[in-house]
């Protein structure tokens, strides 16, 4: 697979300098004009993220979504934007832990001190 380079919309805040700031649509146009493969979109607002994701796809850009969900429901909001089915974990989970369901794996991440991390089945936090 070839290396792909994405530009984040949040990294374009305040551009262009010494002129009115670009709208998200103008940011996407600049990303296309610069030859990037895709755009990184912040997922603070599901409605805005969905609109920007559609605009990016319409321009042939790939989409990376940056989000920090705390609940399975917040993760499902992201899946709707990405047009994915609901995650099984979000239908059955009662975790109070803040991991996103898609970050769970069978091996916990080792701690930097060398001691085993607390036991959370498959969590990589």
Domain boundaries along the sequence of the chain = 6-98
86-112 per-position pLDDT tens digit: 544 444 333 333 444 443 333 444 445
Question: Which residue numbers in the chain have pLDDT < 50?
Answer: 87-111, 116-125
Residue with tokens 């002129």: 19
**Stated pTM of the model:** 0.60
pLDDT of the residue at 92:
39
Residue with tokens 């697979």: 1
**CB distance 43 to 66 below 8 Å:** yes
Phi, psi angle pair for 111, to nearest 5°:
-80, 160
**% of residues, the chain, pLDDT over 90:** 41
């Amino acid at each position: 697979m070839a290396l792909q380079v994405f530009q984040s919309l949040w990294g374009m805040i305040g551009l262009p300098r010494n002129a009115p700031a670009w709208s998200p649509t103008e940011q996407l146009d600049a990303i296309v004009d610069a030859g990037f493969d895709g755009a990184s979109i912040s997922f603070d607002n599901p409605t805005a993220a969905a609109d920007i994701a559609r605009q990016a796809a319409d321009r042939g850009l790939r989409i990376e979504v940056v989000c920090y969900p705390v609940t399975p429901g917040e993760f499902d909001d992201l899946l709707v934007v990405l047009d994915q089915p609901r995650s099984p974990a979000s239908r059955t989970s009662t975790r109070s832990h803040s991991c996103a369901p898609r970050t769970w794996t069978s091996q916990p991440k080792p701690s930097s001190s060398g001691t085993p991390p607390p036991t959370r089945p498959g969590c990589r936090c």
